[in-house]
């Protein structure tokens, strides 16, 4: 397993740019991402956002 923190190139503002960033990370051989964009921002994840992937 290889991982990267997504503060790399963190000036993205569109879904397309996020998809490009994730593709570049995967193409570089990383298999996991610690997603921490806007970690000091006002956005708070809801319970459904935090647990929905665990229920698959």
* pLDDT recorded at residue 6: 61
Contact 40, 10 (CB under 8 A): no
- CA–CA separation, 34 vs 3, rounded Å? 7
* pLDDT recorded at residue 27: 93
pLDDT tens for each residue of 1-56 = 676 766 666 667 788 888 888 898 889 988 877 776 666 667 677 777 776 666 65
Per domain, the residue ranges of the chain are 3-55
* pLDDT recorded at residue 56: 55
- CA–CA separation, 42 vs 48, rounded Å? 18
CB count in 10 Å sphere of residue 25: 19
């Amino acid at each position: 397993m290889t991982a990267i923190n997504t503060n790399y190139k963190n000036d993205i503002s569109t879904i397309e740019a996020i998809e490009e960033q994730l593709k570049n990370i995967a193409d570089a051989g990383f298999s996991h991402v610690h997603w921490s964009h806007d970690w000091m921002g006002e956005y708070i994840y809801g319970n459904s956002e935090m647990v929905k992937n665990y229920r698959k």
